[in-house]
Amino acid sequence: MLIRIVDDDEDLAESLKFLLEPEGWEVVSYPSAEDYLKSDAPSVEGCLLLDIRMPGLSGLELQEKMKERGWEVPIIFLTGHGDVDVAVQAM
């Protein structure tokens, strides 16, 4: 099972990777939504840890692109700037 991390905060992505890999998870990180769309193989079973606020495509915009492409990867949203409106959009 593959855990994908999409976050422009390199330190956070590395910290998550540092925590997850010793537990046996395969982890790959992408610095942007655009990089994720270019490089990921959605047929590989796993999930996505996704930052909501990033330069370029936001996490919510990436979620829309994935939906348009028929990519059904479960998403766990991460944010330091959440509010009710953002939570409703993510649902």
Q: Write the pLDDT tens digit of every residue in 11-70.
A: 999 999 999 999 999 999 999 999 999 999 889 999 999 999 899 999 999 999 999 999
For the chain, which domains are there? 2-90 (3.40.50.2300)
Structure token pair of residue 8: 């422009």
What is the identity of the amino acid at 14? E
pTM to 2 decimals? 0.86
Q: What angle do CA 25, 75, 50 make, to 5 degrees?
A: 85
| Buried-exposed string 13-33: b where 16+ CB fall within 10 A, e elsewhere | beebbeeeeeeeeebbbbbbb
pLDDT score recorded for residue 89: 58
- Evaluate if residue 79 carries a pLDDT over 90: no
pLDDT at 72: 93
